[in-house]
Each structure stands twice: as structure tokens, then as C-alpha cells.
């Protein structure tokens, strides 16, 4: 009898980090469902992934919208039988000093980075409980653990993600479900590499290992936590920041 192929859902899949997470999970043998918000970007991304030899199943939803997430999970369940691994990777920034921060920029970041975690977890958790199996991995940030000027909204959302992780972990631990957080430091995504070289160099000066992280390194950690062999790890927060913040 062939072994079941686990189904993984990655939110914010078409970004730099999401792309590498999708590829690594596909390499590990998962059926990968890639969430996106912009259809035009997703179609171009899908073509590029196909050229690279990957076939991902695309599902549209604004993860900040509870009902859109419900429809997405229903579609994945109909197509593939449910979500075994959820990677909450979607995220945005709307930086600015708190004294100038608009309520719109606060709400946008909290919605996409934090409320999305509730929405996605809420719609997969009961089926996971029924199957007595699940892996939930929340992609947070070093800036959810330390202070960062101009990121009150982002830091609050990323810290809140681990608050969800810890409590959901103990609520589901006896049912074969693990819930963990990954907190990357500065990673060499296209967005980060687009900043001025002098700014990048200043950032690197503050990283003890002397470089930025690679998206593949974050994906490797996702792969580890997603594995059926990682069932004794839950409620944990994995810092992966090159020694920039240790505690």
C-alpha cells in the first residue's frame, strides 16, 4: 500500500520565502497548495515554477478575511482531502514611527500578519483533530522578540503569532498536532536585496555570522518541523537569525 502524501498549505506562497518553502516541501514529497492574493502575480509565478519543474496547486484568498479563508480550505479539502501541514507565511510591512502611524497601517499589518493566523488555524484545526494529525508552522520574525524602531504594528503582530502558537500547542498536543513558530532575522529576499548596498552592509555588520540568512535555510527549518518525525516538538519558537538576537 502506498504511503499517504501529506497536503501542505503555504500562505503568501509567491514571495521569496514562500517560494522556497513550497519548493522544499514539494521536494520532501508533499502535495503543495500555494495561497496567493494577486492573480496576475500568481499566474506568472506558477509559470516560472513549472519551468523549474514544480507543479503547485494555487488557491486564492485574502488570508485576513475569515470567509475567504473558509472558502479556500473548503476547496483544498474537496480537491485533496484536507490540510495536514499549514505554514502561516503571509506577511506585510507598513513601517513608520508610532507617533505618525495611521489606524489603516496598524489594521493592515495586524490583519495580514496576525488575524490571518487565527483565520487559517481556525479552519484547519477541527479536521486535524479528527484525523489526530497536523503540523502548524507560524513564520514570525526576530522583530517580534526585540525592539525595532518604526515597527510597532509589525512587532505586535509577530509577537502575537507566538502567543497563538503556545496556547494552541497545548490545546492540541494530545491529538498528534504540533504548533511551532520560526522567527527569522534578516533574510536575503528580493525585497531586502533591493535596498541600497550601504544599508545592507550596515545590517550585516550587526549579524554575528557575518551575512544574511538564505531563504533555503528557513525552508529547511520548515521542512524539519513539518516532518512526521518532529512530533515531540510543540509550542516552540525557533530563532534563526545568525546570532543577531540571542536570549
240 occurs within a structural domain: no
Query: Domain holding 61: CATH number?
Result: 3.40.50.720
Calculate ∠ Cα 210-211-217, nearest 5°.
130
pLDDT tens digits, 214-242: 999 999 999 999 999 999 999 999 999 99
pLDDT, residue 3, reads 58
Percentage of the chain lying above the pLDDT 70 cut: 99
Known catalytic membership, residue 154: yes
CA dihedral 27, 21, 224, 9 (to 10 degrees): -90
Euclidean distance between CA atoms 212 and 180, whole angstroms? 23
pLDDT, residue 229, reads 97
200 occurs within a structural domain: yes
Greater confidence (247 vs 126) lies with 126
pLDDT tens digits, 165-174: 999 999 999 9
pLDDT tens digits, 38-93: 899 999 999 999 999 999 999 999 999 999 999 999 999 999 999 999 999 999 99
40 occurs within a structural domain: yes
245 occurs within a structural domain: no
pLDDT, residue 107, reads 98
Q: Is pLDDT at 120 greater than 50 in this prediction?
A: yes
241 occurs within a structural domain: no
Q: Which domain holds residue 115?
A: 7-234
> What Å distances lie between residue 236 and 42, 128, 164, CA to CA?
32, 19, 11
Q: Is pLDDT at 142 greater than 80 in this prediction?
A: yes
- Tally the domains of the chain: 1
For residue 10, list its beta bridge partners: 34, 87
Of these residues, 54, 154, 238, 247, which one is catalytic?
154
2 occurs within a structural domain: no
pLDDT, residue 1, reads 33
Q: Is pLDDT at 4 greater than 90 in this prediction?
A: no
Q: Is the pTM of this model over 0.85?
A: yes
Percentage of the chain lying above the pLDDT 90 cut: 92
1 occurs within a structural domain: no
Query: Mean pLDDT, to the nearest integer, of 144-172?
Result: 96
Q: Is pLDDT at 133 greater than 80 in this prediction?
A: yes
34 occurs within a structural domain: yes
Which parts of the chain are beta strand (E)? 7-10, 31-36, 57-60, 85-88, 134-139, 177-184, 237-240
Amino acid at each position: 500500500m502506498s504511503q499517504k502524501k501529506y497536503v501542505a498549505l503555504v500562505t503568501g506562497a509567491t514571495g521569496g520565502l514562500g517560494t522556497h518553502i513550497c519548493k522544499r516541501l514539494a521536494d520532501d514529497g508533499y502535495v503543495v497548495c500555494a495561497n496567493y492574493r494577486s492573480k496576475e502575480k500568481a499566474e506568472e509565478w506558477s509559470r516560472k515554477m513549472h519551468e523549474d519543474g514544480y507543479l503547485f496547486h494555487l488557491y486564492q484568498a485574502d488570508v485576513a478575511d475569515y470567509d475567504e479563508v473558509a472558502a479556500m480550505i473548503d476547496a483544498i479539502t474537496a480537491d485533496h482531502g484536507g490540510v495536514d501541514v499549514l505554514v502561516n507565511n503571509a506577511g506585510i510591512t507598513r513601517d513608520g514611527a508610532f507617533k505618525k502611524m495611521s489606524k489603516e497601517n496598524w489594521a493592515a499589518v495586524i490583519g495580514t500578519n496576525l488575524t490571518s493566523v487565527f483565520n487559517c488555524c481556525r479552519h484547519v484545526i477541527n479536521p486535524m483533530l479528527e484525523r489526530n494529525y497536523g503540523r502548524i508552522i507560524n513564520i514570525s520574525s526576530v522583530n517580534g522578540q526585540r525592539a525595532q524602531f518604526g515597527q510597532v504594528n509589525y512587532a505586535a503582530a509577530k509577537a502575537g503569532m507566538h502567543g497563538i502558537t503556545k496556547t494552541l500547542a497545548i490545546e492540541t498536543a494530545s491529538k498528534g498536532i504540533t504548533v511551532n513558530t520560526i522567527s527569522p532575522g534578516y533574510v536575503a529576499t528580493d525585497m531586502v536585496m533591493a535596498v541600497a548596498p550601504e544599508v545592507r552592509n550596515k545590517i550585516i555588520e550587526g549579524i554575528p555570522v557575518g551575512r544574511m540568512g538564505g531563504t533555503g535555510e528557513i525552508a529547511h527549518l520548515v521542512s524539519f518541523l513539518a516532518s512526521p518525525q518532529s512530533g515531540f516538538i510543540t509550542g516552540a519558537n525557533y530563532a534563526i537569525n545568525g546570532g543577531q538576537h540571542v536570549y
